[in-house]
Amino acid sequence: MEAKATFARGRLILWEINPTNNLYQFSGRRDGPFEIWLMDYHEMIPEQLRYAERQQVQAFNEHMRYMYDHPERFTPGAGARKRSPAAGATNQGTGKAD
């Protein structure tokens, strides 16, 4: 489960752990632009592993929301386009066009 790879593929997903679910599946719900997907859940898993899984889900969701809020930092080429000078701009003091 890696948010950056999912975002790079154009998918906006948030994970949710639901004790009634035993398969990875789309919940049918959305949170704004994000699809809510359900993690598989098995009650027999020790609490330490369930805790680790909850932490992983929280980190994934936070990272996904951050990338959505700041796409220029995670979309290839977006930063370069944003920083390029406007057409016809000149270098200060030289009079030469960029």
Residue with tokens 């975002």: 7
* Mean pLDDT (whole number) for 77-97: 48
The pLDDT of 18-22, averaged and rounded, is 83
Q: What is the model's pLDDT at position 74?
A: 87
pLDDT number for residue 79? 52
Residue 12 φ/ψ region, left for φ over 0, alpha for ψ in the -120 to 50 degree band, beta for the rest? beta
Structure tokens at 46: 């020790």
Task: Enumerate the β-bridge partners of residue 30.
Answer: 35
Tens of pLDDT along 48-76? 999 999 999 999 999 999 999 999 998 77
